[in-house]
Amino acid sequence: MAVAASHRGGLREDLTCAICCDLFREPVMLPCMHHFCKSCISRYWRGLQGAASCPHCRQEFSSKQFHTNYLVTAMVEKVRASCSDSYIRNIEKQLKESLENHLLKKEELFNIIHRDKQKMDTIKSVGAELQARVQGEFRALQQFLQEEEACVLEQMRWEQREVMDQLQCHLEASREAVKELEQNIRVLQQATEASENTALTELPQIRPCVQVCAAPELDMKAFSAKYTVPLQYITWRKMFKSLKPGPAPLTFDVDTAHPSLHISRDRTVAVESAGGLLPYKPGPQRFLQCVNVLAAEGFRSGRHYWEVGVGAKPKWDLGVASELVDRHARVKLSPESGYWTLRLRRGGEYSAGTQPWTRLPVGSAPQRVGVFLDCDERRVSFYDADSMSLLHCFADGPRGKVYPFFSPCIVDDSQRPQPMHILHHPGVSLVV
Ligand SMILES: [Zn+2]
Ligand SMILES: [Zn+2]
């Protein structure tokens, strides 16, 4: 800007008439190449006595003649325009706007930087918290394994020591018996030597022979068989029971089941009845409009996980339901109405149970669905239980008590009803 201004100042000086000391008006050039306003040089020459001359370099000319210089005229007009008030005001306005714009942009960038830093701080603190949590989970498993290992080794050492102690006793008794025998042998040998010289009248006194009991039985096969078992599997089975949360061995609550559902005797299988409604005991907890059923156990706090076998069923809903849901009303499943669910329709369309439904991109059809309920963090997550890949998570989960929820749905008459299973793992009773 400073360079431009000084440049403009120099130009203005060059385009200033030496007579009127203002910008040229109708500039004309004399033969000496100096410029003046046409009126200024005309007035100057009118006042002159004698030959015309240049007021600047004093060169004299034979006649009073000059040439109009259009280039200089155009330049003067430009400089004059650039010095006008409106032009300057416009420039000043543009300057001000540009400056304000820059200041705003700078402020915006500062805000972005601040937000980025805040996000970085957040991710750092959340990361540290998560790290501690992950470490805690693994530490619990490691501690379980260490305790199990110590327990098995202690048992093995105890058995080993027991046999060793018995053998040691037997060894010492045998040594003692050897000593007694050696003593008697010595007495007998002395008596034999003496009998060569003199006739013995009686046998020497010897101690009675010590009886050593039979050596303890050592069944090495039985001993090692105890410790050459599938130790990893046995330990894993025990560890499985200690998982927090491990798959909960839930059962269906038959008193909540819609009358068209048949519940197995062990209350782990639900399937729609082929013959319409089954006889039922009416009650406020029973679903009457939708083909639903709840688990017998509800949760208000803590973290819980369970798995549901859906096999190749083309249609189902499952998840959790608030204990407060109206069992006699026909409602659209959504968190607003007290249901946090995952649903399948037409054999391949998976959705989260929101209003409207949120379609989920699910690659391969899960045969088993894992439901993870974290009451304290109010989260409900669904997994493909075979790969444990996350299918959907409700981050704004339920408050208050909820029950595992299942809806085997009704399929049309052309299809065979397929059951929904609550899975108990690993195919054994998990009663600890
Ligand atoms: Zn002039
Ligand atoms: Zn001149």
User: For residues 213 and 406, which has the higher predicted lDDT (pLDDT)?
Assistant: 406
Other beta carbons within 10 angstroms of residue 206's beta carbon come to 15
Residues 6+ apart with CB under 8 A from 28: 35, 36, 37, 38, 41, 66, 67, 68, 69
Mean pLDDT within 43-51? 89
Contact 170, 213 (CB under 8 A): yes
Which pLDDT score, from 0 to 100, does residue 352 have? 97
Q: Considering every ligand atom, which ligand is closest to the CA of 20? A: 1
Task: Kindly report the pTM of this predicted structure.
Answer: 0.68
Reduced to 3 states (helix: H, G, I; strand: E, B; else coil), residue 48 is coil
Q: What's the angle, vertex CA 171, arms to CA 166 and CA 175, rounded to 5?
A: 150
* Nearest residue to 354 via CA among 307, 301, 317, 308: 317
* Nearest residue to 284 via CA among 303, 256, 310: 256
Q: Considering every ligand atom, which ligand is closest to the CA of 42? A: 1
Indicate the class that CATH gives domain 2-82: alpha beta
Q: Structure tokens of 148?
A: 């199990």
Other beta carbons within 10 angstroms of residue 248's beta carbon come to 20
Q: Structure tokens of 143?
A: 């501690």
Residue 30, Ramachandran bin (φ over 0: left; ψ between -120 and 50: alpha; else beta): beta
Instruction: Please state, rounded to an integer, the average pLDDT across all residues of the chain.
Output: 90
CA of 172 to the centre of ligand 2 (A): 142
CA of 36 to the centre of ligand 2 (A): 10
Question: What span, in angstroms and rounded, lies between the C-alpha atoms of 244 and 246?
Answer: 5
* Sequence-ordered alpha helix ranges (H) in 268-328: none
CA of 24 to the centre of ligand 2 (A): 16
Mean pLDDT within 354-360? 94
Question: What span, in angstroms and rounded, lies between the C-alpha atoms of 310 and 294?
Answer: 16
Q: Is the pLDDT of residue 2 over 50?
A: no
Q: Considering every ligand atom, which ligand is closest to the CA of 23? A: 1
Q: Considering every ligand atom, which ligand is closest to the CA of 53? A: 2
Question: What span, in angstroms and rounded, lies between the C-alpha atoms of 405 and 342?
Answer: 10
Mean pLDDT within 81-90? 83
Q: Considering every ligand atom, which ligand is closest to the CA of 32? A: 2
Reduced to 3 states (helix: H, G, I; strand: E, B; else coil), residue 199 is coil
Q: Considering every ligand atom, which ligand is closest to the CA of 27? A: 1
Which pLDDT score, from 0 to 100, does residue 432 have? 36
Ion ligand 2 neighbours, Cβ < 5 Å = 32, 34, 54, 56-57
Q: What's the angle, vertex CA 156, arms to CA 151 and CA 162, rounded to 5?
A: 125
Q: Which residue, chain included where needed, has tokens 């990893």?
A: 232
Q: What is the pLDDT of residues 382-399, one digit of tens each?
A: 999 999 999 999 999 999
Q: What's the angle, vertex CA 145, arms to CA 144 and CA 146, rounded to 5?
A: 95
Amino acid in the structure at residue 288: L
CA of 23 to the centre of ligand 1 (A): 7
Q: Structure tokens of 7?
A: 């440049």
Q: Considering every ligand atom, which ligand is closest to the CA of 41? A: 1
Residue 383 buriedness (CB in 10 A; 0-12 / 13-18 / 19+) = buried
CA of 302 to the centre of ligand 2 (A): 103
At the second CATH level, the architecture of 254-422 is Sandwich (2.60)
Confidence of residue 205 (pLDDT cuts 50, 70, 90): confident
CA of 86 to the centre of ligand 1 (A): 25
Phi, psi (rounded to 5 degrees) for 196? -70, -25
CA of 230 to the centre of ligand 1 (A): 115
Q: Is the pLDDT of residue 84 over 90?
A: no
- DSSP annotation of 337 reads G
CA of 29 to the centre of ligand 2 (A): 9
Residues 6+ apart with CB under 8 A from 303: 244, 245, 372, 373, 374, 375, 376
CA of 248 to the centre of ligand 1 (A): 105
Question: What span, in angstroms and rounded, lies between the C-alpha atoms of 376 and 302?
Answer: 6
Contact 210, 180 (CB under 8 A): yes
Reduced to 3 states (helix: H, G, I; strand: E, B; else coil), residue 262 is strand
Q: Structure tokens of 205?
A: 């006194």
Which pLDDT score, from 0 to 100, does residue 53 have? 92
Question: What span, in angstroms and rounded, lies between the C-alpha atoms of 198 and 285?
Answer: 113
Question: What span, in angstroms and rounded, lies between the C-alpha atoms of 384 and 392?
Answer: 10
